[in-house]
Structure 1
Amino acid sequence: MALGGESIRGWILDWGKATGAEKAEGFRTALSWVFVVSLALFPFGHSFREAGPILCGVLLACYYRYGYADSNLARFGGKWLFALFYAFVAGNVLWSMDMPHSWDYVRPNLWQGFLLPFIGMEVVRSVRDLRRVVVACCLAVFFQGLDGVWQFFAGVDLIKGDPIMSGRLTGSMSTYRVGNYMGIALLPACGFWALLAAPRSAWGRAGLTALVLAPALFLWVFAKTRSGWLAFSGGLFLLWVAVLGRFAWYKVLIPAAGAVALVLFGPQRASLETAMQDGRVEIWRIAWKIFESHPFIGAGASTFGPGRDALGLELVRNPHDIPHPHNIYLQFLSDGGVLGLLIGCAFLFGLAWWAWRIIRRGIWNGRQGQRVFWTLAAFVWAGYMGYLITGMTGHNFYRSWWLAQGMGLLGVTLGACVAGRRRDTA
């Protein structure tokens, strides 16, 4: 016990003698590890998704206390976009037609979602940091995939004992929307391809990556979530066409032909007939009518339900308690009017465009030693693009776990871009 006391006393004395830069790096290192651990545990329980950002937020504040001048945020030129978007979200609550309702949806995201871009931004300084992020995503989807495989054969998942839902796997997330999570998280996990020894051929590395991610791909397929299917497929398509290789028309035509074949001859859930009968069409029409009644600044944050009821509109093909339009871009329009759509898209897509240009330039014009860094950054960027793709048919923008996925990957992507331009990341 005395030895332990002496060790603690010595550590405190050493910490007291440390410079501000040394303290800042200590907090940043701790922040990085807590972030990647929470990323790996993300799909396995709400407590991990809530505790991780809170602890990371404390470490981030401590890091900024000693090292803000050297932080990625200090060097990031797009802070005004964050300020503009977050100011809009605050205003969208204050001018809401039902402010308590809007606040209930926005409040949990203050720490579970909107803090994560700044956390993710600071965890990246080198290729080693990006490796940790990719490995964390690999672990998360691999073990979640194993749970899905177990559920497929046993009828219930191994962690919570949840049954298969309407013929669709749920993994440990208790809902088939685990397919949306997998569709997003699988994209940075595919960065495992870039971690394999370079002497192997690209196809050989792709085969090994597919083998490692096979359980995750199994769950992604049999969750039967079309938004998740689109997210993963779309993210890989963007990587192939716009980032990792030179543009060629066959790269567009081959996937397009495959998509047509899938619609015409694939499973029922992917068929054109199913798409035409999708209940989302009715919901989208309601969202448009809410926009028409509040065209400039919208009805308020997450007010699809109150806005629909105020207009006396009835849902015929969908449950009446659906709280959002299953399209975040239509939600920006109904929640925030034209102003909301412009600010929301400028924030989400403006940052994606900025990062894409830097990452692509790094891959094609950077030094050979930095190629792995920029390739890993590209896979994380693809994960963020997968999040934007699910937004076309998926959740409420303020769905905490889903927003956390997008904002965390956005932060890591932006941090990689800033770090990659400021120092040698090899």
Structure 2
Amino acid sequence: MSEPIVNAESGGSSVTAAVQAESRGGAACSRLLAASRLLVLILPQLLVVSATAADSAITLVALMFLMYSWLADDWSWMVRPAVWMRWALALWLWMLIISLFAYDIDHSYLMSLAWIRFVIFCAALEHLLLDQVWLRRLWCSAAMTAVFVALDGLWQYKFGADFFGYERHSADRLSGMFQRPKIGSYLMMMFMPVVVGMYIYFAPERSRHSRLIRIVIGVVIMVLMGTIFVSGERMPFLLALAGCLLLLVLSSGLRRRDVLIAGVCMLVSGSFFVNPVSLNRQLSTVTDIKQVAETAYAKAWSRAFDLGMDAPWLGQGVDAFRFACNDPAVGHADKITTCFKHPHHVYLEWFESTGIIGLIGFIGFAVAILRIFLRAHGSGQLSMMNYGPLASVLLVLWPIATAGSFYGSWRACLFWLMLGWGLAAVRGVQGRI
């Protein structure tokens, strides 16, 4: 009789231990979830403070998401990956393969291995971190940060130094709180989520203070668009205008009258903040388009295409442009005129780095993202709240737009935040696509 009692006791202790372990695992999952959401919430600020800090936060969120999946034994996001993730994983594997033949093998491998953090981070936003409550909180964080950054930039434009004493980058370029002149790029990416989200969350047509709300929204549009205009960054200004046109085409829940009013606010802001220097720089875009072959960007694009054609199937390796551009032994030496750290064109960067196969893979990735949003829009399930991140993502993928590096730069962090934000918003409405 004693033996069964001992077995029962040992069995009971095992069950108790299992329950305690499960409880500890649940507590750990809760802490990981809270920490990850907090990091995502402050990403709009980290992107202003330091690119390294933002990239580190993205890496931590990706690692904590993997740990959460292990503790919760939930790998559904990997077992049944979305179409966009299949393309991204295929791209990652191809990046690892072509690194064997890269211009700089060690650097290509390191960049390829690290690139997976963006994919996991995006999956974390889509599958776990951003429910409806946290989507609203992220919007609040982004909106407050964008407005503050814009006001800081306008202060620098007016007085030569911003709130913190940082001087402008040059006579025709603002830097705001950033170390480099990228305030316009930041506000362009934030513009659509902030403005559209403000309209949706405050819903002026359902408010007793509809006129006041519309005035506030108009002022915010003027501040954001005015700062983008005087920043001296021409492509962000053009993309912000294109984003408004895209919104006008896609809008159904948002009344087009309000979009047109927003356009008038932007024109007013442009005339209000304009000075001869900033106006001349923006208008010089027309001249640059007529003489595009002579611009520095066009010369970098030509060199990127030349490097890609030197190794058309495998490319020069991930992030190889910064090293191979000035090397006369690669491609045609007469193409070496203007070199940057990257080609400033996302599709040429993929072609130069990963060859034709990698470029096809990236186009497949971009089309998969586009189909997700268009399918949701066509079914009528895509709420207006999602149009902001949608517009920002589509504008960055616009083939004729200049762009930052897609492999590990500040702009890559901003892009993947917007993509994860948009995917989470779509998933919250209609589930997996």
**Coarse TM-score class (shorter-chain normalised):** 0.7 to 0.9
Distance 1:86 1:400, change over 3 A: same
CA distance in 2, matches of 1:143, 1:108: 32
| Shift in CA distance, 122/166, structure 1 to aligned 2, threshold 3 Å | farther
- For residues 36-58 of structure 1, give each alpha carbon's deviation from its aligned partner in whole angstroms, at most 9, with x where no partner exists: 12233321223531332243234
Contact 2:130–2:421 (CA<8 Å) still a contact in 1?
no
Matched, 1:118 2:138: no
User: Greater shift after overlay, 230-239 or 63-72?
Assistant: 63-72
Aligned-residue offset at 1:159: 3.4
Tell me whether 1:275 sits opposite 2:264 in the alignment: no
**SS of the counterpart of 2:421?**
helix
- What is the alpha-carbon distance in structure 1 between the residues aligned to residue 217 and residue 45 of structure 2? 18
The equivalent residue for 1:138 is 143
Q: 1:375 aligns with which of 366, 380, 384?
A: 384
CA-CA distance at 1:344 after TM superposition: 0.8
The farther-off stretch of 14-23 and 285-294 is 14-23
Cα deviation for residue 234 of structure 1 reads: 2.3
- Is 1:406 equivalent to 2:418 in the alignment? no
Q: Give the aligned length.
A: 387
Letter aligned with residue 381 of structure 1 = L
1:327 aligned partner, one-letter code:
H
1:299 to 292, 313, 316: 316
Give the Cα–Cα distance (whole angstroms) in 2 for the partners of residues 147 and 222 of structure 1: 12
The answer as to whether partners of 2:350 and 2:359 remain within 8 angstroms in 1 is: yes
- The residue number in structure 1 matching 2:242 is 234
Q: 2:369 aligns with which of 351, 368, 374?
A: 351
Find 2:352's aligned residue among 334, 351, 355. Answer: 334
**How far apart, CA to CA, are the structure 2 residues paired with 1:47 and 1:323?**
17
TM score, norm. by length of structure 1: 0.78
- Change in Cα spacing, 1:106 to 1:85, as seen in structure 2 (3 Å) is closer
Matched to 2:422, the amino acid is: T
Q: Name the counterpart of 2:428.
A: 419
Distance 1:294 1:207, change over 3 A: farther
Contact 1:180 1:390 in 2 (8 A): no
The answer to whether residue 104 in structure 2 is matched with residue 98 in structure 1 is yes
2:184 pairs, out of 179, 183, 199, with: 179
- When the two chains are superposed, the root-mean-square deviation of aligned CA atoms in Å is 3.6
Unpaired runs of 5+ in structure 2?
A: 1-18, 272-278
Matches within 5 A, 1:7-406: 18=23, 24-25=29-30, 27-67=32-72, 69=74, 76-78=81-83, 79-103=85-109, 106=112, 109=115, 111=117, 113-124=118-129, 126-159=131-164, 161-190=166-195, 191-198=197-204, 199-200=206-207, 205-244=213-252, 267-270=280-283, 271-277=285-291, 278-304=295-321, 305-306=323-324, 309=327, 310-314=330-334, 318=338, 321-361=339-379, 364=380, 366=381, 374-389=383-398, 392-406=401-415
Q: Which whole-Å deviations, capped at 9, do the CAs of 1:128-170 have from their partners, x for residues lacking one?
A: 2221121121122112112212211231233362433242111
2:184–2:227 CA contact under 8 A, matched in 1: yes
Residue 346 of structure 1 deviates from its aligned partner by: 0.8
Instruction: Tell me how far apart the structure 1 counterparts of residues 298 and 386 of structure 2 sit (CA, whole Å).
Output: 36
In the alignment, the residues of structure 2 paired with residue 325 and residue 56 of structure 1 have an alpha-carbon distance, to the nearest angstrom, of 29
**Which whole-Å CA distance do the structure 2 matches of 1:391 and 1:123 have between them?**
34
Amino acid at match of 1:186: F
Structure with greater Cα Rg: 2
Deviations 1:46-90 (A, max 9, x none): 353133224323432332124453866666532322211211222
Q: Give the 3 Å change call, closer, same or farther, for CA 93–171 of structure 1 in structure 2.
A: farther
Residues 405, 390 of structure 1: alpha-carbon distance in 2 compared, 3 angstrom cutoff: farther
Amino acid at match of 2:185: N
Distance 1:292 1:17, change over 3 A: closer
Matching residue of 2:7: none
| CA distance in 1 between partners of 2:171 and 2:406 (Å) | 25
Partner SS, residue 313 of structure 2: coil
- The 3 A distance-change label for structure 1 pair 212 and 415 is same
Q: Structure 2: how far apart are the matches of 1:48 and 1:209?
A: 31
Q: Determine helix, strand or coil for the equivalent of 2:108.
A: helix
Instruction: Give SS of 1:41's match.
Output: helix
> Could you tell me which residue of structure 2 aligns to residue 7 of structure 1?
none
CA distance in 2, matches of 1:343, 1:236: 29
Per-residue CA deviations over 1:299-324 (Å, capped at 9, x if unaligned) read 22222341562224246763xx4232
SS of the residue 1:224 aligns to? coil
* Pair 1:306–1:245, CA change in 2 (3 A): same
Q: Structure 1 residue 105: deviation in Å?
A: 5.0
Mapped contact 2:108–2:319 kept (Cα < 8 A): yes
> Unmatched 5+ residue regions in structure 1?
1-13
Maintained 8 Å contact 1:108/1:400: no
